[in-house]
């Protein structure tokens, strides 16, 4: 009785402590190496090679990302850009969620043109199962080499998820020193097999010192393996007074290297042996070759499974009324549950190629009422 009570207590702690959430945090890293042709407005075209390492830590409620981009031009001049961004959202407040975040960065070109900025933002989101809207304000400061300037503005947007695709429309107004402008933008993203296509377009209006006109770009990614992809992109972009870039056009081809996602669920893993009904020394779970993670896509929590060399992956849980549902293959050994996960603590099981149901790597586990194990997911 005491052992059973202890198990229940540990399970309750795992469910209530945010850091105990399985899949609640994961670290992702990537390295892009590319060759580009860039033409800044008013300048001749120039070839460049670029190297961009980046790392991100994400959980269903918070995120932190950092990147460094180094471009070396034909002239021998070098451009360096660094960026750090993050944010955190509240739990549901009725139909709404609150988000606080910010970003900071610095850039330098040829050792003499230097820029830096720091911006904070507050947003209110109204989220549905496949649609959402948001609005917010931002404020901060920037430096253009000498002295500082204040920056402030507002933004709003709406998004929708379709089968295998997502679209987003945004409005942004920014005032920074003697520069002000409004951007109206649209973005679309589509996943199909090993291909990922992202497109964006917009126009700048009501501008004073920030330029005007339309811009847009297109990027196509081909996932060759679980950790490597080819990326081809091109288009144009407007000036960015905050980050110190001038308008230009570009075409890029490169390789993206992405190590496997690393799920972090430290507390659940620590207490897992006490929650698992299997005796010590028992065989590993039948899904040892599969890993699970919760990723954010357009404001929704998405269940993603990684497993190589299989034909079908199925999930069943309280969010499917315990009916087996086949996951959608998105290429490179990735399988995705097509609907966003509702907030809460979820119990689930997974199986591969109609084999035994089990708990994959990256998930916490607990005993079920039938003497077996059930996986745990926490979505705030």
Mean pLDDT (the chain, rounded) = 79
Q: What percent of the chain has pLDDT over 70?
A: 79
Domain end among 257, 275, 296: 257
pLDDT at 261: 44
What is the enclosing helix (H) or strand (E) of 11?
helix 2-16
For the cut 50, the answer to whether the pLDDT of residue 72 exceeds it is: yes
- Output the pLDDT for position 57: 80
Q: Are residues 297 and 171 in the same domain?
A: no
Residue 137 class from Cβ within 10 Å (0-12 exposed, 13-18 middle, 19+ buried)?
middle
Residue 272 pLDDT class (50, 70, 90 cuts): very low
Mean pLDDT of 308-333: 85
The pLDDT value given to residue 16 = 38
Mean pLDDT of 26-30: 77
For the segment 135-189, what is each residue's pLDDT rounded down to a tens digit? Answer: 999 999 998 776 788 999 999 999 887 766 789 999 999 998 889 999 999 999 8
Structural domain total, the chain: 2
Low-confidence winner among 111-115, 308-312, 324-328 (lowest mean pLDDT): 111-115
- By residue range, what is the domain housing residue 49? 28-257
Residue 218 — very low, low, confident or very high, per pLDDT cuts 50/70/90? very high
Cα 150 to Cα 155: distance, rounded to the nearest angstrom: 17
Tell whether 10 and 42 lie within a shared domain. no
Q: Which two tokens stand for residue 114?
A: 């230097």
Q: What is the CATH number for 109?
A: 2.40.160.40
pLDDT at 59: 64
* Cβ–Cβ under 8 Å, residues 226 and 257: no
Q: What is the pLDDT of residue 202?
A: 97
* pLDDT band with cut points at 50, 70 and 90 for residue 102: very high
Residues 230, 274 within the same domain: no
**Domain of residue 14, CATH code:** 2.60.40.10
Transcribe 190-223 into DSSP letters.
EEETTEEEEEEEEEEEEEESS--EEEEEEEEEEE
Rounded-to-integer distance, Cα 306 and Cα 194, Å: 14
Distances from the Cα of 98 to the Cα of 92, 131, 326, angstroms: 8, 16, 33
């Amino acid at each position: 009785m005491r052992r059973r009570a202890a198990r229940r207590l540990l399970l309750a702690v795992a469910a209530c402590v945010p850091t105990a959430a399985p899949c609640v945090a994961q670290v992702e890293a990537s390295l892009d190496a590319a060759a580009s042709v860039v033409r800044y407005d008013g300048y001749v075209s120039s070839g460049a090679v670029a190297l961009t390492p980046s790392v991100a830590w994400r959980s269903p409620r918070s995120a932190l990302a950092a990147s460094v981009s180094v471009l070396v031009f034909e002239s021998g001049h070098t451009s360096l850009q660094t960026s750090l961004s993050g944010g955190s959202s509240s739990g549901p407040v009725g139909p709404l969620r609150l988000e606080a975040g910010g970003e900071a960065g610095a850039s330098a070109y040829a050792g003499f043109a230097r820029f830096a900025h720091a911006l904070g933002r507050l947003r209110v989101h109204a989220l549905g199962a496949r649609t959402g809207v948001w609005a917010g304000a931002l404020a901060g400061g920037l430096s253009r080499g000498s002295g500082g300037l204040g920056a402030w503005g507002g933004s709003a947007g709406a998004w929708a998820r379709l089968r295998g695709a997502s679209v987003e429309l945004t409005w942004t107004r920014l005032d920074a020193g003697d520069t002000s402008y409004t951007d109206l933008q649209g973005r679309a993203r589509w996943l199909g097999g090993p291909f990922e296509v992202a497109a964006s377009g917009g126009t700048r209006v009501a501008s004073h010192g920030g330029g005007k006109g339309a811009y847009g770009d297109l990027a196509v990614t081909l996932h060759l393996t679980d950790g490597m992809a080819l990326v081809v992109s091109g288009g144009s972009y407007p000036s960015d007074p905050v980050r110190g870039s001038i308008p230009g056009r570009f075409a890029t081809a490169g390789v993206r290297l992405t190590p496997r996602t690393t799920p972090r669920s430290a507390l659940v893993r620590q207490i897992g042996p006490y929650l698992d009904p299997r005796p010590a020394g028992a065989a590993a779970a039948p899904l040892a070759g599969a890993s699970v993670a919760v990723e954010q896509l357009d404001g929704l929590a998405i269940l993603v499974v990684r497993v190589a060399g299989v034909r079908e992956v199925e999930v069943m849980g309280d969010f499917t009324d315990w009916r087996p549902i086949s996951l959608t293959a998105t290429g490179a050994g990735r399988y995705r549950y097509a609907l966003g996960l509702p907030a809460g603590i979820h119990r689930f099981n997974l199986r591969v190629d109609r084999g035994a149901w089990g708990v994959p790597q990256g998930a916490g586990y607990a005993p079920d009422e039938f003497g077996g194990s059930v996986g745990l997911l926490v979505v705030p």
